[in-house]
């Protein structure tokens, strides 16, 4: 069977064999969005300098070790805080979901997302979706606060529960809309991230101002 390229992938090429495999962005379907200074600039708890923020042209190579005659190869967009953001803290309603099999560190990831949103960005509305993608279909959610997640990194598994499958994009995006969620943090492996891409496409189709952030959770190193 002929291999087909991912329609969601944005490919950018440069000199000396440079290839950037980029991911879709909110601005790809919503133009003229207002940008705001990153709240971290004004947070006295952080000594933020300009060099702390990730430049829009920063990328990370897929292969760290190369020979002198090798092409520059495949790169990915570097994650990290930008100087400007597209949401004011007061308007953010975030959710976190864990999907697929269990692996060490899931609760730590949940804890760090919640604490970063609260303490670094001033976001106070964060929901945990109970039971993986299927949890979007139900009313079961957990309100996540720094106090609630304070000690969860000492436990195994995930406090949010997990499940496999449940990729009904319409039901999931209906739930996102009904709950007024505009930031979705999805923790999972390759299948979960493929589901996240499908969810993003449905959000894009509906023209919703909501972002989907995929956080890799895998022991197979197959996220790329």
* Catalytic residue annotation: 220
Angle made by CA atoms 205, 218, 73, in degrees to the nearest 5:
75
């Amino acid at each position: 069977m002929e291999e087909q390229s991912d329609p969601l992938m944005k490919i950018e090429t440069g000199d000396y064999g440079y290839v950037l495999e980029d991911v879709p962005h909110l601005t790809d379907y919503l133009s003229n969005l207002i940008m705001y200074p990153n709240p971290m600039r004004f947070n006295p708890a952080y000594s933020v300098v300009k060099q702390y923020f990730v430049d829009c042209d920063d990328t990370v190579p897929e292969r760290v070790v190369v020979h002198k005659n090798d092409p520059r190869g495949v790169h990915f967009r570097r994650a990290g805080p930008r100087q400007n953001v597209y949401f004011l803290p007061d308007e953010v309603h975030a959710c976190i979901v864990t999907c697929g099999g269990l692996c060490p560190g899931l609760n730590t990831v949940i804890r760090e997302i919640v604490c970063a949103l609260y303490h670094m960005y001033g976001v106070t509305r964060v929901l945990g979706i109970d039971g993986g993608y299927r949890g979007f279909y139900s009313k079961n959610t957990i309100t996540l606060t720094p106090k609630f997640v304070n000690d969860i990194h000492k436990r195994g598994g995930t406090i949010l529960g997990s499940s496999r499958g449940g990729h009904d994009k319409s039901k999931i995006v209906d739930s996102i809309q009904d709950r007024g969620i505009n930031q979705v943090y999805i923790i999972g492996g390759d299948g979960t991230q493929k589901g996240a891409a499908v969810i993003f496409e449905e959000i894009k189709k509906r023209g919703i101002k909501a972002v989907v952030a995929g956080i890799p959770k895998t022991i197979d190193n197959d996220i790329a």
